[in-house]
Amino acid sequence: MKITAQEEYGLRCLLQLARVPQGQLVRVKDIAAKEGLSSAYVEKLLRFLSRVGLVHSTRGIKGGYMLNRPASAITLGEVVRALGTVQTTDRICHQFTGNEAACVHFTSCGIRSVWSGLTTYIQNFLDQTSLSSLLEDEYVVAERLSKRFAA
């Protein structure tokens, strides 16, 4: 899975909003300063996240952005799908980079099931991980996630 800059920074902006009490506004320039990004880029990401319903803004001198729902009710799957693309199993083998017009193994492929299984695993992982779960110490989060998805 390739994570785009838009997905990475959009998620980081959402985490900044998740760190404040529910309903509290956060200014774009404050998010930009904490993340080392330009205010214009943060504004672009937050406008996009607003269009998909994850955040909303309030205009004015005391304006800013806030999450539309508690961070515990927002999954990483929602965020990644909103900001980019999560590969789906129907997109596996959609493109073939070899010399043929279509893959010679399209009707019988031993590898496709591996890619499909990994794709399903990643989708489930993202859909079962809430934004709020990333607010704890990095090592606590890593330990919890490794236990949850081990097997």
DSSP string covering 76-102: HHHHHHHHS----GGGTTSS--SSSSS
Q: How many domains does the chain have?
A: 1
Residues 104-123, mean pLDDT to the nearest whole number:
80
Predicted pLDDT at 151? 58
Cβ–Cβ < 8 Å for 126, 86: yes
Residue 96: band (very low, low, confident or very high) from pLDDT cuts 50, 70, 90: low
Residue 149: band (very low, low, confident or very high) from pLDDT cuts 50, 70, 90: low
What is the average pLDDT value for the chain, to the nearest integer? 86
DSSP 4: P
For residue 145, is pLDDT > 80?
Answer: no
Cβ–Cβ < 8 Å for 46, 55: yes
Q: For residues 112 and 101, give the distance between their C-alpha atoms in angstroms, rounded to a whole number.
A: 18
* CATH code of 131's domain: 1.10.10.10
Residue 1: band (very low, low, confident or very high) from pLDDT cuts 50, 70, 90: low
Q: Count other Cβ atoms within 10 Å, centred on residue 127.
A: 15
Residue 87's nearest CA partner among 109, 108, 115, 110 is 115
Predicted pLDDT at 130? 93
Q: Which amino acid is at 127?
A: D
Q: Which helix (H) or strand (E) holds 58?
A: strand 55-58
Q: For residues 10 and 146, give the distance between their C-alpha atoms in angstroms, rounded to a whole number.
A: 24
In terms of pLDDT, which residue wins out, 5 or 100? Answer: 5
pLDDT digits (tens, 9 = 90+) for 44-86: 999 999 999 999 999 988 889 999 999 999 999 999 888 886 6
Q: Which domain holds residue 42?
A: 5-149
Residue 121: band (very low, low, confident or very high) from pLDDT cuts 50, 70, 90: confident
Cβ–Cβ < 8 Å for 39, 28: yes
For residue 39, is pLDDT > 90?
Answer: yes
